[in-house]
Protein backbone atom coordinates (compact mmCIF):
# COMPACT_ATOMS: atom_id res chain seq x y z
CA UNK A 1 0.00 0.00 0.00
CA UNK A 2 1.34 3.45 -0.92
CA UNK A 3 1.83 6.12 1.73
CA UNK A 4 1.27 9.83 2.15
CA UNK A 5 4.47 11.66 3.14
CA UNK A 6 4.07 14.56 5.56
CA UNK A 7 6.87 16.96 6.47
CA UNK A 8 6.26 18.41 9.90
CA UNK A 9 4.34 15.23 10.68
CA UNK A 10 5.02 15.45 14.41
CA UNK A 11 3.86 19.05 14.87
CA UNK A 12 0.41 20.37 15.74
CA UNK A 13 -1.31 20.24 12.33
CA UNK A 14 0.93 17.47 10.99
CA UNK A 15 0.33 15.14 13.92
CA UNK A 16 -3.44 15.61 13.62
CA UNK A 17 -3.26 14.88 9.88
CA UNK A 18 -1.21 11.73 10.49
CA UNK A 19 -3.77 10.55 13.04
CA UNK A 20 -6.68 11.34 10.72
CA UNK A 21 -5.19 9.52 7.72
CA UNK A 22 -4.06 6.51 9.71
CA UNK A 23 -7.55 6.18 11.24
CA UNK A 24 -8.94 6.11 7.70
CA UNK A 25 -6.58 3.26 6.77
CA UNK A 26 -4.02 5.36 4.91
CA UNK A 27 -0.34 4.70 5.64
CA UNK A 28 1.70 7.79 6.43
CA UNK A 29 5.37 8.75 6.52
CA UNK A 30 6.32 11.49 8.99
CA UNK A 31 9.42 13.60 8.30
CA UNK A 32 10.18 15.93 11.19
CA UNK A 33 12.81 16.97 13.73
CA UNK A 34 10.74 15.06 16.28
CA UNK A 35 9.44 11.47 16.02
CA UNK A 36 5.79 10.53 15.59
CA UNK A 37 5.04 6.99 16.71
CA UNK A 38 1.53 7.18 15.23
CA UNK A 39 2.85 7.28 11.66
CA UNK A 40 3.45 4.05 9.75
CA UNK A 41 7.00 5.23 9.09
CA UNK A 42 8.96 7.97 10.76
CA UNK A 43 12.14 9.80 9.75
CA UNK A 44 13.70 12.22 12.23
CA UNK A 45 15.45 14.77 10.05
CA UNK A 46 15.94 18.38 9.05
CA UNK A 47 13.81 19.04 5.96
CA UNK A 48 16.35 21.57 4.67
CA UNK A 49 19.12 18.92 4.45
CA UNK A 50 18.97 17.53 0.92
CA UNK A 51 21.10 14.46 1.64
CA UNK A 52 18.85 13.13 4.40
CA UNK A 53 15.63 14.10 2.61
CA UNK A 54 16.75 12.24 -0.51
CA UNK A 55 17.64 9.17 1.53
CA UNK A 56 14.31 9.25 3.37
CA UNK A 57 12.37 9.11 0.10
CA UNK A 58 14.63 6.51 -1.55
CA UNK A 59 12.88 3.42 0.00
CA UNK A 60 9.40 4.60 -1.01
CA UNK A 61 8.14 2.63 -4.01
CA UNK A 62 4.98 4.68 -4.45
CA UNK A 63 3.49 7.67 -2.71
CA UNK A 64 -0.22 8.48 -2.56
CA UNK A 65 0.48 12.12 -1.82
CA UNK A 66 2.80 14.68 -0.26
CA UNK A 67 2.00 17.34 2.35
CA UNK A 68 4.63 19.94 3.28
CA UNK A 69 3.81 21.44 6.67
CA UNK A 70 7.25 21.76 8.30
CA UNK A 71 7.94 25.38 9.20
CA UNK A 72 9.77 27.73 11.49
CA UNK A 73 9.67 31.39 12.45
CA UNK A 74 12.06 34.08 13.64
CA UNK A 75 11.43 37.43 15.26
CA UNK A 76 13.24 40.38 13.76
CA UNK A 77 12.69 43.56 11.77
CA UNK A 78 14.32 44.41 8.44
CA UNK A 79 17.03 46.48 10.13
CA UNK A 80 17.95 44.00 12.86
CA UNK A 81 17.10 40.47 11.70
CA UNK A 82 20.27 38.37 11.49
CA UNK A 83 21.09 36.62 8.23
CA UNK A 84 21.32 33.40 10.19
CA UNK A 85 17.68 33.72 11.27
CA UNK A 86 16.56 34.87 7.81
CA UNK A 87 18.30 31.95 6.12
CA UNK A 88 16.92 29.41 8.58
CA UNK A 89 13.32 30.48 7.93
CA UNK A 90 13.86 30.29 4.16
CA UNK A 91 15.67 26.95 4.42
CA UNK A 92 12.86 25.26 6.33
CA UNK A 93 9.76 26.96 4.94
CA UNK A 94 10.73 27.22 1.26
CA UNK A 95 13.74 25.00 0.59
CA UNK A 96 12.22 22.24 2.73
CA UNK A 97 9.05 22.17 0.62
CA UNK A 98 11.06 22.29 -2.60
CA UNK A 99 13.34 19.42 -1.51
CA UNK A 100 10.39 17.26 -0.48
CA UNK A 101 8.72 17.77 -3.86
CA UNK A 102 11.99 17.20 -5.72
CA UNK A 103 12.78 13.89 -4.08
CA UNK A 104 9.20 12.65 -3.81
CA UNK A 105 8.47 13.48 -7.44
CA UNK A 106 9.54 10.21 -9.04
CA UNK A 107 7.59 8.21 -6.47
CA UNK A 108 4.32 10.12 -6.56
CA UNK A 109 1.47 8.09 -8.00
CA UNK A 110 -0.22 9.52 -11.08
CA UNK A 111 -3.31 11.49 -10.15
CA UNK A 112 -2.34 12.11 -6.52
CA UNK A 113 -2.02 15.44 -4.71
CA UNK A 114 0.61 17.73 -3.19
CA UNK A 115 -0.40 20.27 -0.55
CA UNK A 116 1.93 23.02 0.67
CA UNK A 117 1.46 25.08 3.82
CA UNK A 118 1.32 28.82 3.30
CA UNK A 119 -0.41 31.34 5.58
CA UNK A 120 -2.46 34.51 5.58
CA UNK A 121 0.93 35.98 6.49
CA UNK A 122 1.67 35.86 2.75
CA UNK A 123 -0.91 38.63 2.30
CA UNK A 124 -0.23 40.94 5.24
CA UNK A 125 2.72 42.50 7.03
CA UNK A 126 3.36 42.28 10.76
CA UNK A 127 6.22 44.23 12.25
CA UNK A 128 9.00 41.96 13.46
CA UNK A 129 8.25 38.87 11.34
CA UNK A 130 9.63 39.89 7.95
CA UNK A 131 11.24 36.51 7.25
CA UNK A 132 8.10 34.49 7.93
CA UNK A 133 5.87 36.73 5.79
CA UNK A 134 8.36 36.57 2.94
CA UNK A 135 8.71 32.79 3.15
CA UNK A 136 4.97 32.18 3.02
CA UNK A 137 4.64 34.39 -0.06
CA UNK A 138 7.42 32.34 -1.66
CA UNK A 139 5.55 29.11 -0.88
CA UNK A 140 2.58 30.38 -2.92
CA UNK A 141 4.88 31.12 -5.86
CA UNK A 142 6.38 27.64 -5.53
CA UNK A 143 2.92 26.09 -5.48
CA UNK A 144 1.80 27.91 -8.62
CA UNK A 145 4.94 27.03 -10.56
CA UNK A 146 4.89 23.40 -9.45
CA UNK A 147 1.21 22.98 -10.33
CA UNK A 148 2.00 23.48 -14.00
CA UNK A 149 4.97 21.12 -13.90
CA UNK A 150 3.08 18.28 -12.23
CA UNK A 151 -0.17 18.70 -14.20
CA UNK A 152 0.82 16.42 -17.13
CA UNK A 153 0.98 13.54 -14.66
CA UNK A 154 -2.44 14.43 -13.25
CA UNK A 155 -0.82 15.45 -9.96
CA UNK A 156 -2.52 18.43 -8.34
CA UNK A 157 -0.56 21.01 -6.34
CA UNK A 158 -2.34 23.38 -3.96
CA UNK A 159 -1.70 25.35 -0.78
CA UNK A 160 -3.57 25.93 2.46
CA UNK A 161 -3.32 29.34 4.11
CA UNK A 162 -4.55 29.38 7.71
CA UNK A 163 -5.06 32.33 9.99
CA UNK A 164 -3.98 31.92 13.61
CA UNK A 165 -3.93 28.26 14.65
CA UNK A 166 -3.89 27.20 18.30
CA UNK A 167 -0.71 25.11 18.28
CA UNK A 168 2.70 25.01 19.92
CA UNK A 169 4.08 26.75 16.80
CA UNK A 170 1.93 29.78 17.63
CA UNK A 171 2.98 29.56 21.28
CA UNK A 172 6.64 29.72 20.27
CA UNK A 173 6.04 32.72 18.01
CA UNK A 174 4.22 34.59 20.76
CA UNK A 175 6.97 33.77 23.25
CA UNK A 176 9.33 35.89 21.15
CA UNK A 177 7.22 39.00 21.79
CA UNK A 178 7.45 41.13 24.93
CA UNK A 179 3.65 41.37 24.94
CA UNK A 180 2.97 37.83 23.72
CA UNK A 181 0.28 37.07 26.29
CA UNK A 182 -1.61 40.24 25.39
CA UNK A 183 -1.39 39.37 21.70
CA UNK A 184 -2.73 35.90 22.40
CA UNK A 185 -5.66 37.35 24.33
CA UNK A 186 -6.56 39.45 21.28
CA UNK A 187 -5.86 36.78 18.66
CA UNK A 188 -9.37 35.35 18.64
CA UNK A 189 -10.91 38.74 17.94
CA UNK A 190 -8.67 39.10 14.89
CA UNK A 191 -10.99 36.61 13.15
CA UNK A 192 -14.65 37.35 12.43
CA UNK A 193 -15.49 33.92 13.87
CA UNK A 194 -14.00 35.13 17.15
CA UNK A 195 -11.36 32.46 17.75
CA UNK A 196 -8.20 30.83 16.46
CA UNK A 197 -8.44 27.71 14.32
CA UNK A 198 -8.10 24.27 15.83
CA UNK A 199 -5.38 22.17 14.15
CA UNK A 200 -8.08 19.63 13.23
CA UNK A 201 -9.77 22.25 11.06
CA UNK A 202 -6.63 22.88 9.04
CA UNK A 203 -5.99 19.13 8.73
CA UNK A 204 -9.52 18.75 7.37
CA UNK A 205 -8.81 21.39 4.71
CA UNK A 206 -5.63 19.56 3.69
CA UNK A 207 -7.52 16.26 3.54
CA UNK A 208 -10.12 17.87 1.27
CA UNK A 209 -7.46 19.05 -1.20
CA UNK A 210 -5.98 15.56 -1.23
CA UNK A 211 -9.31 13.90 -1.86
CA UNK A 212 -11.24 13.11 -5.04
CA UNK A 213 -13.68 15.83 -4.00
CA UNK A 214 -10.99 18.30 -5.12
CA UNK A 215 -10.15 16.43 -8.33
CA UNK A 216 -10.41 19.60 -10.47
CA UNK A 217 -8.59 21.89 -8.04
CA UNK A 218 -4.95 22.74 -8.71
CA UNK A 219 -2.72 25.80 -8.56
CA UNK A 220 -5.03 27.20 -5.90
CA UNK A 221 -4.68 28.66 -2.41
CA UNK A 222 -7.37 27.55 0.03
CA UNK A 223 -7.68 30.25 2.70
CA UNK A 224 -8.88 28.80 6.02
CA UNK A 225 -8.72 31.85 8.25
CA UNK A 226 -12.04 32.22 10.07
CA UNK A 227 -12.50 35.56 8.35
CA UNK A 228 -9.13 36.96 9.45
CA UNK A 229 -8.50 38.74 6.15
CA UNK A 230 -12.03 40.18 6.19
CA UNK A 231 -11.03 42.24 9.24
CA UNK A 232 -7.84 43.64 7.70
Q: Which residues are catalytic?
A: 132
DSSP 59: T
Give the helix/strand (H/E) hosting 117.
Answer: strand 108-117
Query: How far is residue 37 from each of residues 24, 34, 41, 202, 210, measured CA to CA in Å?
Result: 17, 10, 8, 21, 23
Helix, strand, coil fractions of the chain, as percent rounded to 5: 45, 20, 35
CA 85 from chain centre, in angstroms, equals 19
Amino acid sequence: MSSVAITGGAGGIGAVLVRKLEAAGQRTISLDLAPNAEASECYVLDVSDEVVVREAFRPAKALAGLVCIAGTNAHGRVEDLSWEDWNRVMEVNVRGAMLAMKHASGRLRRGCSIVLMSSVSAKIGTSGFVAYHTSKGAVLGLMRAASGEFAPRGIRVNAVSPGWVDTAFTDRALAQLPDGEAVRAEAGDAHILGRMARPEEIADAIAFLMSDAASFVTGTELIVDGGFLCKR
